[in-house]
Structures are given as structure tokens and as C-alpha cells.
Amino acid sequence: MPERTDFAALITGHTAVIEMVNSGDTGLPVLTRLMRVAQSALGAAGTAFVEFAPTGGRVIAATGAVEWAIGRPVPTDDPSTVCVPSGERVCQVRTDALTSRLAGELAERGLLTMMVAHAESGGLPVGSLHVLYPDGDDPPDAGQHAVVGYVAACVAHLYGDQTGLPVHGDGSVVAALADGLAVVDHDGHVRLWNPAAVQVTGRSTGQALNRPLPFPLPPSGQVLDHRLPDGRWLRITSGELPGPGTLRVVTFRDITDQHRRDHDRDLFVAVTSHELRTPVTVIKGYADTLTDHWESLTESDRRQAARVIGQRANELARLVDRLLSSAAEAGPGDEAPAPYDLGEALHTAAADLPAELRQRLVLRLPADLPKALGHRASVATILTELCTNAGKYSPAGSPIDVTAEADGSTVSFRVGDRGIGVRPEHVERAFDRFWQGESGDRRRFPGAGLGLYLVRRIVEQQNGWVSLRPRAGGGTVAEVRLPRG
């Protein structure tokens, strides 16, 4: 660990971050740049930022030796972060003294010392900043503690601007920044009612204080969508406030525009009907041709018709499986994870892709790729969804790259395209169920918004994680990380 902070580098780097903000940059690019500045100035091996949400946190940005953790979910009871909201503003821990899986992986990589600071906005924690070092022998000095706290405060300021952050907009802590906020006691009576709450509900502070909430209170850590008598929809979350007492923090926002249930259902049915109708129409057309004109067709024509029918039947089967999986929230079930040859599984899955995707695929898999621990059968679904997504958002005929590598704890593979790319503020929202980057008449790309949602569910059920990021030179890279077998 360095003896002192390079304050000159900190000031120079922070100036560059401010210039980014002044030029209009927002969200994850600014957050990542700020973390790189902190890593360099503090002489750290890497940094990570965990954004809090009601069901747990998620690593939304990381640098240096911790970049592999981007997209990694962090449970609500993970000791790597659980002490942050109620503990000191900045604390130091040894990762090999913690019991969580994430801390164990950090320790296995030699990252033994972790300084943690929580970022607060409006008095509420929005996430935690983690600065990691390979050496746990030399304690950080007061200056380093101060810098980590300062950088965490800068991150909180980015959240306060509500431009590109939070990445997840439905967290009980995160959503409080520009949304309605109430604090209620154990009887459910309102003790605090912020100005945004007045705007959202139309109920003044005087009308709200010391009275029950004007809407249902969801269980702590859960999210509830509630329709008001005037037809508007609120998304409500709640969580326990750190410290003594039984106070609950409740946040709520008007989500009428994006949460019209009937519209969403109609859209889903329409899109699904269209996607089902296309392969069915093609299959029926070729089958009728074979039935009605068998004698007049050449052998080549018959084989071609059979190939098309087989290809479209495979597409139809995949679509039906995707829809059924989504409806049933299906995963690998009770099947125990087992080691398997990821390279061989990827080769097999690639061979089963539709012809137009298979012809574009560029596989670069190392021969000595270690085994993964999980469910081998799921690789076909994961690769199919990621390659389908890559093909849909990139020019016809452009290559789709599939690469793989491993480190001490995980084995990973990436699917990269040269398409329109993913906007930084969409790298997490893209995994939401039914979410589309475009909607209504502006949609240029078909789909029901289920593919990435299913991929994340399948991967995380195997103790892995998946993330998206823009590809250098244009396009998108999807990365899946699984435990080593």
C-alpha cells in the first residue's frame, strides 16, 4: 500500500471529471472515470461501486483488478456491504476475515485490504465505494481515509443530480433522491414527508404528517405497484432505517407512463403473436409446397424446403421455450450444479444456432479453458439469446465474436457485435423483463424484451453473473461469468 496519496494526480483527475460533467457527460462513464482517478491517486489495485436496491446491491462500475465483478449481484446480508449504512463513514476490513463468497474471491485474488465508504444523498445511502489493495499489512493513513470518503461524497453528488444515476430506478434507497419520500413509525403513521411526496400525491405536509400513508405499505425490501383512485400508478418501496427504533423509509414515484398494465399486456401479445406467426407461416408455406408440388420439384428443391422447415421449426421451438420459461419464471430447478467442459458446450451450442447466425459466428476459444460449475444444458439457451440479440442489433453479415477466458475463480465467455451499441444508462435496464430500448412506432427491432432477462436469471441461478458494456470501436459486448468447476 502506498505511504501517501498522490494529491496532484487526484486534483488533475478530478478536474478532468468535472470537465466531463460540464461538457454534458453523465451516469456510468463519469462514475467510472472518477473511480479510475481514485484508484490511481490512492495507488489501489482496483475500485468498485455497489449500488443499493431493495433486493440487494449490484456492482455497476469497477476498475483495475476488480473489473471482472461488473454486473455481480451482492445479497442484502453480504458482510462486504451490510455494515456500511450503519457503520463508520469510511472503514477498513480484511477480505480474508469476511465470510461472503465475494470477499472470498477477492482474497483468493490477493486483494486482502478493502476500504469501504458509503455514498449518501438526502441522508440516505445510495451505494458503497470499495477501494482494494493487494497488501493487508500496512494500514492506510488518515489522508487515504479522507480521500475515499471524499470520492464517495462525489459519487453521491452524481446521484443527487439524477442524470444517468441511479442505474436501477426502483430501489427503496436509490429512488428517494428525486421521488416521494416518507418515514413512518411502527404504527404506520407518517413522521416525514418530503416536497417530492407532496408533488407525487397532491397531499400537503400538513395533510400527511401523523396520519397513515395514503397507499399500502409493502414489506421491507419489496416493491409494490399501486393504482391510485385517479388512475395513476405508483411504484412503492420500503426499507428499515439503520439505527434504533422501528422506523421505515418509504419511497414512491409516479410510473403511470411506463406502467400501463393493459397496454403492456396488449403489446406483449401483439409482439409474441407476430414472432410466432412468422415461422409458422413459413413452415406451412413450404409444407404445402412439398405436398402440392412434390412430383414437379427437383431433389434440390425438396432438400431446400426441408432445410427451411427444420430451421424455422427450431426457431419456433426456441421462441416457445423462451415464452414458457418467462411465464413460469423457470430456471434449472433442483438440478445440482456440476462441472462441465464450457468450451465443448459452447461449440455444441454454436452448431445448433440458426444458419444466418452460425455463418456470422467467429469462435475463439482456448483449448485449455477450465471447466465451469453449473448446468451444461443452459449454455445453449444463453448463447442463443446473446447471439440472437447481437445479430438483431448489428448489420447483416457482420461478425459476431465469441471468446472465452478464465481466472482463479471464474470462467467466462463474451459475445461481441459491431452494431448500434448499448447506451451506458441502458446496460442494466436491458435485463429488465419486457424492457425495450425503443417503444411504440419508434421500434426498429422486433422482440418481446425477454431474452436478456432470461439470461440473467439463468446465470445468476448458477452463482454467476452477466453484464453488458459498449464495445471499443462500436457495438456491444455481453459477458457471462460462471464459477470454475
3-state SS track over 182-203: EEECCCCEEEEECHHHHHHHCC
Candidates 1.10.287.130, 1.10.10.10, 1.10.3720.10, 3.20.20.70; CATH matching 261-328: 1.10.287.130
CA distance 321 to 464: 22
Please list the residues that pair with 73 across neighbouring strands: 58
Q: Looking at domain 179-254, does it have CATH number 3.50.50.60?
A: no
**Over its length of 485 residues, how does the chain's per-residue pLDDT go in tens digits?**
445 788 999 999 999 999 999 998 888 999 999 999 999 999 999 999 998 875 678 999 999 999 999 999 988 667 777 554 445 678 888 888 888 888 899 999 999 999 999 888 766 678 899 999 987 556 667 788 899 999 999 998 888 776 788 887 544 344 344 578 788 888 888 888 877 788 888 899 889 999 999 999 988 878 888 888 888 888 898 877 655 556 788 888 888 766 555 555 555 555 555 556 657 777 888 888 888 889 898 999 889 888 888 877 876 776 676 666 555 544 555 578 899 999 999 999 998 888 888 899 999 999 999 999 999 988 988 998 899 889 989 999 999 999 999 998 999 999 999 999 988 888 888 888 766 654 433 344 445 567 788 889 889 989 999 999 999 899 999 999 999 98
The domains of the chain are located at: 7-161, 179-254, 261-328, 338-483
Whole-number pLDDT of residue 170: 46
91-95 contacts, C-beta under 8 A, 24 or more apart: 91/115, 91/116, 91/117, 92/116, 92/139, 92/140, 92/145, 94/136, 95/132
Whole-number pLDDT of residue 442: 37
Whole-number pLDDT of residue 453: 83
Whole-number pLDDT of residue 471: 92
User: Is 261-328 in the same CATH topology as 179-254?
Assistant: no
Architecture of domain 7-161: 2-Layer Sandwich (3.30)
Determine the angle formed by the axes of helices 299-328 and 261-293, rounding to 10 degrees.
160
Q: Report DSSP letters for 72-109, one per residue.
A: -EE-TT-TTTTTTTTS-SEEEEEGGG--SHHHHHHHHT
Whole-number pLDDT of residue 172: 39
Whole-number pLDDT of residue 118: 84
Backbone dihedral angles phi then psi of residue 381, each to the nearest 5 degrees: -65, -45
What are the angstrom distances between the C-alpha of 30 and each of 33, 109, 164?
5, 27, 9
Each residue's pLDDT tens digit, 145-183 = 899 999 999 998 888 776 788 887 544 344 344 578 788
Whole-number pLDDT of residue 171: 45
Whole-number pLDDT of residue 352: 82
State in words which class domain 338-483 has: alpha beta
Residue pair 281/255 in contact (Cβ under 8 Å)? The answer is no
Which amino acid is residue 94, in one-letter code? R
**Helix, strand, coil tally for the chain in percent (to 5):** 40, 25, 35
Residue 251's nearest CA partner among 52, 426, 31 is: 52
Whole-number pLDDT of residue 82: 53
Whole-number pLDDT of residue 380: 87
Whole-number pLDDT of residue 90: 87
